[in-house]
Structure 1
Amino acid sequence: MAPNDSAETNGGTRGTAAGRRKAARYIVPVAVAGVAAATIGLVPALASSGDPDLPKISAQELIEKIAASDTEQLSGTVKISTDLGIPSLGGLAGSFAPGGAGGDGGKGGSSADPQERMTELASGTHTLRIAADGPDKQRLSILDNTSEYSLIHNGDQVWAYDSKSDQAYHATEKQAGEDAGRDAGKKSGHPVPEGVPTTPKALAEEVLKAAGPTTSVTVDGTAQVAGRDAYKLVVKPKQSGSTIGSVTVAVDAESGVPLKFTLLPAAGGKAVVDAGFTEVDFAKPDASLFTFTPPKGTEVTEADDAKAQHKADKGLGDLIPGADAAQLGAGEPGAKNTKVIGEGWSAIAEITTPGATGLPSKASGDVPAEAQQFLDALGDKVTGKFGSGTVFKTRLVNALMTDDGKVYVGAVTKDALVKAANSAS
């Protein structure tokens, strides 16, 4: 195995000006919080046949190799699973899920709607088949034992099909941009809802966005993933208080395409996010993969109809007053009800919920018993200069909701959230 070179992004690291500008697309840990909050993870045990002997490369050169990669054609199989450590929702899931008894009386939207189906990747283990032929043709399929869910983008047309229910979803590119995160889809190689990356490349790009003084980047040996020789790029926070221990990206030595992405928690244990190819081919995929005609008898939902249904759903607002508006504010950097405390891996978003309302309680009669059990299982009561509140925890993203209606969220520890709330008081 070749010697490993390393570089710490301490503000003094220099490469070519063009290379640094390209690399600037890549390392903001706040994005990792978004990745985990919305979604993902993977089966750690991927095929490996030893550490290949590759030429020495520096961390800076490897980042630039990723940025310079122009691969637009590929197909393959990706294994993906997530372990955020969230307690099981049990019967509560059916009550608040789209189409569930507590959602809209069982009159939910299409089971093929990407906004609903892609959230499946937030937990468990999944096998995906992907194919891409340039920015206008992508296909992603989630495979089950007896069924398949496929999302196909071809030119200005986006189709999704659920073979189990025989339902389809159709949108034009403009509609997909509004409702299914078109821009995010183009970046990641397929049209999926924004904030739901599903390939190692998309996950790596969420992390590698802007090298800075809060981050250490090293090359830590080599590996073989899906039969391809790869370098291992390791990204670690320098700051204390982050729940993220490290991110390892296995980068194809020839093409610069990320083949595997592994996110380990600072607390140790199995990976929170671990996604990688088990098979990959960089040849031009067959054109038939990007065409779709609904089978006879298929129920087709148009995007405009689905959009109207989404607006009709109350969503989290039934459970946490102001939650929907807070989510909107969190997605808008200039929103008046949202600000960021700190920077880098320890950045925390402070969100003021409309009406400054805190969590409802069982005692007040605002939530059903099952919902209260779920909230209690997730939360720890805390107090401080800010007053009192509840910290909701996962293995990666934690959130403090104060009794006076403020929310502090980030990929940081409980103590870091309390400190931020105290400093803002």
Structure 2
Amino acid sequence: MAPNDSAQTTGVTADEAGGTVVGRRKAARYVVPVAVAAVAAATIGLVPALADSGDPELPEITAQQLVEKIAASDQQQLSGMLKISTDLGIPSFGGLVDSFVPGGTGGGDTSGAAPEAKLTELASGTHTLRIAADGPDRQSLSVLDKGSEYSVVHNGADVWAYDSGSDEVYHQRAEGGSGDHHTAGKAVPGTPKEMAEKALAAVGDTTSVTVDGTARVAGRDAYQLLIKPKQSGSTIGSIRVAVDAEHGVPLKFTLAPSGGGKAVVDAGFTRVDFGKPDASAFSFTPPKGARVTEADELTADMHEKGSAFEKGPAFEKELAQLGGGPGAVNVIGEGWSAVAEIDGGGSAEGLTGDGAAGLPAEAQGFLGSFGDKVTGGFGTGTVFKTRLVNALLTEDGKVYVGAVTKDTLVKVAESAR
């Protein structure tokens, strides 16, 4: 298919690309080291390049034209299966989420089927997803793992989530509850389109973007867009996006680390159909005997009883130190080597050493399993490591975080003093 020359390159924000059915809660601050990966995707420069010859043979296209094709794509209907593998080099989020997020085992009388907790599990391991979409008001997603199924169905004003393992149902309507039902149409995490749009959200001079041949993905002809940082010090080696040659929809997204080894994120369709999905894909009736939790009732109950965090003074100091307090954020550098400096407003004692004793065991294991003590012009601190994002927490409560190497992080912290 000939390139869409009339398309214009547009940035796509993370808000457009995703969101949870219900709002994030304070507990999310505990995963600050991995929540700001978007810093690494800043500033992408478009370098025109002709596609290499490959199989299948497709018309030549430049990187600029291919990015425009992605931006112009407005495919409203599709269905299929995709596989997502994530290896951040950290423990599974499962136990951590259960301890902190309402809806987990430590969250009190809440719904274990709430998407905010269940979909976080996609941040580690390998998962098979079945998805379908028919316009902005009808989407469904099912996570098929280990003989059980977790599904989220958005149909008009209703959002249903069902966990077959616990036989729990979560229901939300637009007229009430703790979120906008339209976010359900955006909250399809792990899709190649969502990931590609985040990577292409900003443009600049720090990145090389080229077309690197062609491929067959899920039986479809695709161009391969290769995104590589020009700067040193990043934990990201490259991002490869397979783009459907006809529709401009990203079919596969692979993020390779600069340190080598298996991909940090590898998400791609194994089967895809761009026709209108069957209406049954967006139909849901709670199974007989299942426990049903209404979002508005859940929100009212939480306000009345208070969550585990609101009742647990042992956590207040630690929560404030991860982005709370003054909350000042300063971005140091640009592009792939950008680092966010966050002023926590106090000592980091509560999150390191003996001060961590007040945290749940899962949180202590999470922090301690990938923390390294470091020293420098900033004094002493701890670097919390993943294969993608590293974070340095100093003794005076400042946090430096970015998709950069440990050495780069320490140098940035020293230069900031």
Sort the TM-score into its range (normalised by shorter chain).
0.7 to 0.9
* 1:394 partner SS: coil
CA distance in 1, matches of 2:242, 2:341: 34
Residue number among 399, 402, 408 corresponding to 2:391 in the alignment: 399
Residues 1-27 of structure 1, C-alpha deviation per residue, up to 9 Å, x if partnerless? xxxxxxxxxxxxxx98x745x333389
Backbone CA RMSD of aligned residues: 3.3
* CA spacing shift, 1:291–1:338, aligned 2, 3 Å: same
Matched, 1:312 2:312: no
Please list every run of 5 or more consecutive structure 2 residues that lacks an aligned counterpart in the other structure: 19-30, 38-53
Shift of 1:271: 0.3
* CA spacing shift, 1:100–1:64, aligned 2, 3 Å: closer
CA distance in 2, matches of 1:361, 1:346: 26
Residue number among 66, 72, 76 corresponding to 2:76 in the alignment: 72
* CA spacing shift, 1:318–1:411, aligned 2, 3 Å: farther
Q: Give identity over the alignment, percent.
A: 60
* 2:369 partner SS: helix
Indicate the larger mover: 398-407 or 286-295: 286-295
Shift of 1:415: 1.5
For the 8 Å contact 1:115–1:179, the answer to whether it is kept is no
Residue identity in the other structure for 1:236:
K
Residues 223-247 of structure 1, C-alpha deviation per residue, up to 9 Å, x if partnerless? 0000000000001111111100010
Residue identity in the other structure for 2:147:
T
For the 8 Å contact 1:400–1:409, the answer to whether it is kept is yes
Indicate the larger mover: 263-272 or 284-293: 284-293
Residue number among 368, 372, 381 corresponding to 1:389 in the alignment: 381
* 1:119 partner SS: helix
Matched, 1:342 2:333: yes
Residue identity in the other structure for 2:413:
A
Q: How does 1:40-189 map to 2 (within 5 A)?
A: 51-87=55-91, 103-104=106-107, 107-173=108-174, 178-179=178-179, 182-183=182-183, 185-186=184-185, 188=186
Residue number among 270, 281, 286 corresponding to 1:289 in the alignment: 281
- What is the aligned residue count? 378
What residue is the counterpart of 1:25 in the other structure? 12
Residues 91-121 of structure 1, C-alpha deviation per residue, up to 9 Å, x if partnerless? 77765565666x35xx352111001000110
For the 8 Å contact 2:93–2:124, the answer to whether it is kept is no
* 1:23 partner SS: coil
For the 8 Å contact 2:92–2:124, the answer to whether it is kept is no
What residue is the counterpart of 1:209 in the other structure? 201
For the 8 Å contact 2:317–2:350, the answer to whether it is kept is yes
Residues 164-185 of structure 1, C-alpha deviation per residue, up to 9 Å, x if partnerless? 2211111123657x548954x4
Residue identity in the other structure for 1:400:
L
For the 8 Å contact 1:322–1:353, the answer to whether it is kept is no
| TM-score for both structures, normalised by structure 1 | 0.79
CA distance in 1, matches of 2:212, 2:411: 34
| TM-score for both structures, normalised by structure 2 | 0.81
* CA spacing shift, 1:389–1:201, aligned 2, 3 Å: same
Residues 380-411 of structure 1, C-alpha deviation per residue, up to 9 Å, x if partnerless? 11111111100000000110001111111111
* 2:357 partner SS: coil
For the 8 Å contact 2:321–2:346, the answer to whether it is kept is no
CA distance in 2, matches of 1:100, 1:87: 17
Residues 115-156 of structure 1, C-alpha deviation per residue, up to 9 Å, x if partnerless? 100011011110000000011110000012322111011112
Shift of 1:281: 0.4
CA distance in 2, matches of 1:278, 1:35: 31
For the 8 Å contact 1:113–1:306, the answer to whether it is kept is no
Shift of 1:34: 8.9
Shift of 1:367: 3.9
CA distance in 1, matches of 2:381, 2:237: 27
Indicate the larger mover: 276-285 or 153-162: 153-162
Please list every run of 5 or more consecutive structure 1 residues that lacks an aligned counterpart in the other structure: 1-14, 40-49, 330-334
* CA spacing shift, 1:365–1:261, aligned 2, 3 Å: closer
Indicate the larger mover: 228-237 or 205-214: 205-214
For the 8 Å contact 2:255–2:263, the answer to whether it is kept is yes
What residue is the counterpart of 1:6 in the other structure? none
Q: How does 1:194-343 map to 2 (within 5 A)?
A: 197-307=189-299, 309=302, 312-314=307-309, 321-323=317-319, 326-327=322-323, 336-343=327-334
* CA spacing shift, 1:381–1:273, aligned 2, 3 Å: same
What residue is the counterpart of 2:26 in the other structure? none
For the 8 Å contact 2:33–2:384, the answer to whether it is kept is no
Indicate the larger mover: 92-101 or 295-304: 92-101
Residue identity in the other structure for 1:139:
S
Shift of 1:424: 2.0
Shift of 1:325: 6.9
* 2:70 partner SS: helix
CA distance in 2, matches of 1:94, 1:336: 26
